[in-house]
Amino acid sequence: MSSLFCPKCGSLLLPKKDDTKTLVCSCGYKTNNAGPITIKDQPSEKNKKVEIIDHEFEVAPLTEAECPKCHHKKAYYWLVQTRAADEAETKFLKCEKCKHTWRDYS
């Protein structure tokens, strides 16, 4: 059996769809002196599984702040530049317990 790599560009030679004795390359090279080739594993669409995670992950830091809705004492926070660059950024908070979101302008 000949090499499985293209002598012109070095890419992997693949069997031609209608003829398993011919190996072809994406650069246009092909060879007919390949031995018998058996494709053992074909990926199937029904074997692919997508896992759905129904959970919200918080990646923002946690701070001491009282929620105006449920009065819980901890909230996640992040900063956003909502106005001009020479003005201070706005601090957003999200309650750890009830997920209520509010702004802190102090």
Active-site residue set: 86-87
Residue partners of 55: CB distance under 8 A and separation at least 6: none
41 CA to centre of own chain:
25
List the one residue out of 2, 1, 37, 3 whose CA is nearest residue 17: 37
One-letter identity of residue 74: K
**CA–CA separation, 57 and 33 (whole Å):** 56
Beta partners for residue 62, in sequence order = 76
